[in-house]
Amino acid sequence: MDAEPKNTGGKAEPWGDITPDAARRLVSAAVHAFAERGYHATTTRDIASRAGMSPAALYIHYKTKEELLYQISKVGHERALAIVERARDSEGTHAERLVDAVRSFVRWHAEHHTTARVVQYELGALAEEHHAEVIAVRKATDGAVRSIIEDGVKAGVFDVPDVRGTTVAVLSLCIDVARWFNAAGRSTPDEVGGLYAGLVLRMVGAGGRGDGRS
Amino acid sequence: MDAEPKNTGGKAEPWGDITPDAARRLVSAAVHAFAERGYHATTTRDIASRAGMSPAALYIHYKTKEELLYQISKVGHERALAIVERARDSEGTHAERLVDAVRSFVRWHAEHHTTARVVQYELGALAEEHHAEVIAVRKATDGAVRSIIEDGVKAGVFDVPDVRGTTVAVLSLCIDVARWFNAAGRSTPDEVGGLYAGLVLRMVGAGGRGDGRS
DNA sequence: CAACCCCCTAAGCGCTTGCTCACTCTCCGT
DNA sequence: ACGGAGAGTGAGCAAGCGCTTAGGGGGTTG
């Protein structure tokens, strides 16, 4: 499917480009453990054993447990930001750009809901410096979505009395997918993405039938 | 303000009716600690010291740290359920009932965002039996919101292609307020409630100007 | 073959955790 | 006056935590 060796957000785990192999296994193990139990309830022994090595081996590749979380959080946030920025900079009508942003953002959060759960809900456990860095990326994401909505309002296509508040709501709606989405559940990431794109269109006053088609 | 001694969701802390006094102080301390650091990162010593007593005193009133979380989670979930059930059973048009539900549900999550954060985001730390009990309350909440939407669709007032999915989205949107709301921030709980009520009206195809007024 | 580096492990250190125990204090009914 | 009950304490236990250290195998270099 993907001729490019670089993984940029497809269906596979978003850690394909981490080397060496042991480090990648550690990150992947940490993501699953953090997502299941939360950062503080996860032990370094658990991460190491999921990655198939001894507890001490973890510290060859990462200085601390927090650095593992930082790696996950940073890469995840950057990937999420890239998704909405691509939509913002794409061609098409204002509605199409917003639909694209929401649809792909939601799909990413559903497809990678384990990763996304850690990225979105465990950032409070980061060290202060790392936390600040991640918050900056989040602000950029918020700005990208806001500018899509703002542009639509200026063009008279969207009808939004409170741009800032609506942006928060849209992002909040999309992010929270990571919390409740279940791969074994009723809907696929594609379906949720489509549904949410339609709902958001309606939220900005450009909605049609509410099923994602204009 | 409130003549009734029983607190049913007003502005004060929702723990007014817990006795004895020390137990209430413990619950209140636990809520704040859990909300700040998360359940697993909070120590029983921290809770006890916030409540102004020795670590051992905690165990006079609660058998375990988990029981404290259970108490908070249970009461919180029941209160949230009561809010949407009251709206569902109230008189008024379908749109008014939905607006009432969203507005008061969101307002509660914003006003009590410390409590709500624990209630909504720490339930994974509950023991299996307690977890199941809480999940049942959540299902009831979901059912109440869905029935409001369903009734509106049947009456031809709402236009919702996917009732189940839209219900999830509406609840998700409201719940996530607890995550991002900041008491020192730009908007008051009332404002967020109004904004969100308007957004949800639009999501169900009954929206007007998108500012909470029909 | 030896020197080297990298990756890894077994053992364990120092510390914190949830929780317990023996005990004290205060209040209340008789 | 006094015994009992309930609320509280200081000290500390067993277990588990994040992380370190000393050392060992295996491959690539001279």
Burial class (CB in 10 A: 0-12, 13-18, 19+), A185: exposed
pLDDT tens sequence across B143-195 = 999 999 999 999 999 999 999 999 999 999 999 999 999 988 899 999 999 99
- Using a CB-CB distance cutoff of 8 angstroms, which residues of chain B are in contact with residue A180? 168, 172
Distance between CA atoms of residues A57 and A40, nearest Å: 20
Nearest-by-CA chain A residue for B39 = A40
Whether the per-residue pLDDT at B61 is higher than 70: the answer is yes
The token pair that represents B31 in the structure block: 């809520």
Residue of B165, B187, B210 lying closest to A195 (CB–CB): B165
Task: Report yes or no: A81 at the B interface, CB cutoff 8 Å.
Answer: no
Task: Report yes or no: B213 at the A interface, CB cutoff 8 Å.
Answer: no
Distance between CA atoms of residues A151 and A101, nearest Å: 14
Task: Report yes or no: A202 at the B interface, CB cutoff 8 Å.
Answer: yes
**CA distance, residue B142 to nearest chain A CA (Å):** 13
Residue of B124, B160, B210 lying closest to A210 (CB–CB): B160
Helix axes A163-175, B189-203, angle to 10 degrees: 70
Task: Report yes or no: B173 at the A interface, CB cutoff 8 Å.
Answer: yes
Architecture of the domain made up of A64-203: Orthogonal Bundle (1.10)
- Using a CB-CB distance cutoff of 8 angstroms, which residues of chain B are in contact with residue A173? 169, 172-173, 176
**B41 Cβ nearer than 7 Å to chain C strand:** no
Nearest-by-CA chain A residue for B160 = A210
Positions 57-86 of B with beta carbon below 7 A from strand C are 59, 63-66
pLDDT tens sequence across A171-201 = 999 999 999 999 888 999 999 999 999 999 9
Mean pLDDT, to the nearest integer, of B3-26?
68
Regions of chain A where pLDDT drops below 50: 1-10, 210-214
- Nucleotides of chain C touched by protein CB (<7 A): 7-12, 16-22
Q: Using the beta-carbon criterion (under 8 Å), do B172 and A164 form an inter-chain contact?
A: no
Are the C-beta atoms of residues B196 and B205 closer than 8 Å to each other? no
Are the C-beta atoms of residues B52 and B60 closer than 8 Å to each other? no
Q: What is the mean pLDDT of chain A?
A: 91
Whether the per-residue pLDDT at B6 is higher than 50: the answer is no
Task: Spell out the domain ranges in chain B.
Answer: 64-203
Q: Tell me, what's the pLDDT at A207?
A: 75
Whether the per-residue pLDDT at B3 is higher than 50: the answer is no
> Would you tell me which residues have their CB within 7 A of strand D?
A 42-45, 55-56, 59, 63-66; B 20, 22, 53-57, 60-61
In chain B, the percentage of residues whose pLDDT exceeds 70 is 91
Distance between CA atoms of residues B23 and B116, nearest Å: 19
Nearest to B76 by CA among B40, B30, B45: B30
The token pair that represents A200 in the structure block: 């958001």
Categorize the per-residue pLDDT at B77 as very low, low, confident or very high, splitting at 50, 70 and 90.
Answer: very high
